[in-house]
Amino acid sequence: MLDRLLTRNAETVGFSSRGGTNPTMRRLRFSLAMFFVFVTLVAMGCWWYVTMRPRWAADASLAELNLLQGQRKTGQLKWGTEMRQLIEIGPPALPVLIEALDSTPEDDRFNLRTIPFAMNCIEDPRAVPALIRAIPRCFGADGSDMGYRVGDAKLRKYLAERHGDEDRTMTLSYGRPVNEVFGALKKLTGRDADHLDLAFVSKRTDDTPRQTFLKRRLYERSAERWAAWWESNWRKYTGDWRYSKVDLPSRSVAISDPKDVGVDENITRVAKRSYQGIIIQPVCASSQRVCFLDVDTNRWSVLPKRFAHLKEPVETLPSEVLAWAKQEGFDFYGAKLQADGKSHYVIKAIETQVIEVDSDSKDRSWTVASAKQLGRLTGELVAHWDAAQNQLVLDSPGEFVFITKENTVGIVALGAEVTSTGYRFGEASKDRNLATTGHRLGRRIGLSYLVPGN
């Protein structure tokens, strides 16, 4: 075709290409060839600029962020500036972020925060499959969620707005992996499944093998549910079929349970982890934070939407809700009882043995054996028994040793009923378990664990 074109052009100007000896024809051939080479190079340059340059820029930004995080400069001005540069690359940076997140191991807790943070800010739903694949790796040993000033007010405001923290004026939220991953999933899909349940499920050095297994299984199960949902709904968020499958890797741990070694009835060591002032709300559709508690894993949950018909706080769980709670492994729930003409917020146990012990005893080294010998088995309702009055006192504090069906052993400190919302001056300096005001109405408890070892 090129020969015919050149021949036609040559004949038009009065030259013949036969023999290939005409100098003008050779110059014309050379010029056209150079023109095609030039067009090809320009096209390749445009392709590189559009495709490869953002990838290289994203790689460079991630490498710099890694370096700064290794130098403990996370949240400082240079870190924030580099994060902004990465975010401003936009969707072209997504393939690099996906590859980086997929290759981030469970023990790299910084990148399991940083990469989902960036994905959240870029707001491209194609990141969803990679975020779902990262859910099992959110299980780990973490400190706390962080708030950074970044070092520049305008930069902090930019990052906070992109991250969805418009209500924060002083600091930028930089959460634990579970909060960054689920926070990004919520922003990209509008779906908030499992976030509350897993927000405080983390790895602890004094966990039993059984507890570690149960915790990790929660994350694995959540990833499987999210993957099934995405593969049925991805068309609502992206038209790119390459991101239609999650392709979860095989489970990171064997599904078989660790060997059950039973309960050591003589353990006295209290684990370092403890929780004070938790408010357990009564079970009903309007409860927003915690009305079910699994002490084996520290999983907190609310009533599922399928039980939305339970508009009023329950005194006891309906059979279908109780069956669900047992299947999910919950150990306690909140309820609201009427007694002596008054309403009381109370705690009830689910397949958990609870023994009230003397909270005023000088010997606070309770064991399961001593609790069984000296204490009072409570039954389902966890409440203080006043021996002098020979009756339960529903609004009284108390201390209880518990043994769950998974053989987790600990102490529940039953606190005050929270009967009003808001803040009362001076209460913050008291025992949190005895504060009668809070963000939600319910019953306060403290929670600690008894573990083997010295």
Give the pLDDT score at 426: 53
Cross-strand partners of 400:
356, 412
Within its chain, how far is the Cα of 193 from the centroid? Answer: 10
Residue 36 to residue 42: CA distance in whole angstroms: 10
Q: How high is the pLDDT of residue 19?
A: 47
- Predicted confidence at residue 454, as pLDDT, reads 54
pLDDT digits (tens, 9 = 90+) for 397-446: 999 999 999 989 999 999 999 999 876 555 554 678 888 888 899 999 99
What does the pLDDT read at residue 362?
Answer: 52
Average pLDDT of the residues in 279-288: 88
The confidence score (pLDDT) of residue 269 equals 65
pLDDT, mean of residues 260-275 = 70
Please tell me the predicted confidence (pLDDT) of residue 239: 93
Which of 356, 332, 336, 353 lies closest to 345 in space, CA to CA? 336
- The pair of structure tokens assigned to 74 is 């996370």
**Torsion angle defined by CA atoms of residues 403, 404, 407 and 410, in that order, rounded to the nearest 10 degrees:** -50
- Examine the pLDDT at 37 and tell me if it is beyond 90: no
- In this prediction, what percent of the chain has a pLDDT beyond 70? 86
Q: Which residues of 1-10 are buried (b: 16+ CB within 10 A; e: fewer)?
A: eeeeebeeeb
How far is the C-alpha of 444 from the C-alpha of 454, rounded, in Å?
A: 30
The pLDDT of residue 5 is above 60: no
Rounded to an integer, the average pLDDT of 133-138 is 96
- Give 350-385 pLDDT, tens digit per residue: 999 999 998 766 556 778 888 888 889 999 999 999
The pTM for the full model equals 0.84
The one-letter amino acid at 248? L
Q: Do the Cβ atoms of 205 and 452 come closer than 8 Å?
A: no
Q: What is the pLDDT of residue 15?
A: 45
Query: Are 181 and 117 within 8 A, CB to CB?
Result: no
Q: Model confidence over 305-354: pLDDT tens digits? A: 899 899 999 999 999 999 999 999 999 999 999 988 899 999 999 999 99
Confidence of residue 13 (pLDDT cuts 50, 70, 90): very low
Question: Cα–Cα distances in Å, from 257 out to 210, 213, 254?
Answer: 7, 7, 8
pLDDT at 6: 46
Residue 184's alpha-carbon distances to 79, 100, 120, 171, 345, in angstroms, are 20, 16, 5, 19, 35
